[in-house]
Each structure stands twice: as structure tokens, then as C-alpha cells.
Structure 1
Amino acid sequence: MTVAQTTKYVIKYKLNGERRFEFAQLADGTEEQAKAALDAIHRDTDDVISDIAVSKAL
């Protein structure tokens, strides 16, 4: 079994127009991966996620 290498990223985004951020372990920090992580966090709501920006956490 091969384990995927991940890196800790900070995801900055807006949730219903309010600035927020989350940390996530992602394979390569693409916006698609970040969106999937945010969808998993906010999966049971009708919240609007926008303005996604991803960068490596310090």
C-alpha cells in the first residue's frame, strides 16, 4: 500500500461573504482539493463558499 504524501496548507475563503480560514492536509494544494476539503467541512449546510486561496502553512 502506498501512502500519498501530503503537506499542510492554509485555505483562505469567504463563507457567505465572511472571511474565514481553515488548515488542511492536501496532496498538492490545488484549488480543487481545497474546495473538496471545504465542502467536507461545510457539507450539511447551504453556505456559499467563494474567493478560495491556498498557500502552504508556515
Structure 2
Amino acid sequence: MAQTTKYVIKYKLNGERRFEFAQLEKGTPDEAEAALKALHGQSGDVISDISVSKAL
């Protein structure tokens, strides 16, 4: 199993500012986007303005 770190993902969902916590390996925007798509499903929601930083 790969080493993960807790990150906070800040993003917009259909224009509404939101954030989530996630255990990610590298904390890249692509990895964060994949985690958000898994969380929100393929319901046609628009995910944008993704930023990732280590959680305190």
C-alpha cells in the first residue's frame, strides 16, 4: 500500500466554493480531481478551480 498524506482540496462545484479532505499519494491537481469525481460521481456537475494543499 502506498504512503498517503492528508490534503485539503479547495474547488468550485457548479460555481459554488467548496472544500474536502482527502488522503492522496502526491497531492497533484489531477489526483485531486480524480478523488472529487469519485466523491461526486459522474452526475454532470462542473468541478473547477481546484487547488490542493497539505492539511494542518
- Would the TM-score normalized by the shorter structure come out above 0.5? yes
TM bucket by the smaller chain? over 0.9
One of 40, 47, 56 as aligned partner of 1:49: 47
RMSD, aligned CA: 0.7
TM-score scaled by length of structure 1: 0.93
TM-score scaled by length of structure 2: 0.96
How many residue pairs are counted as aligned between the two chains?
56
* Deviation >2 Å, runs of 4+: none
The gaps in structure 1 that reach 5 residues or longer are none
What's the secondary structure of 2:33's corresponding residue? helix
Identity %: 75
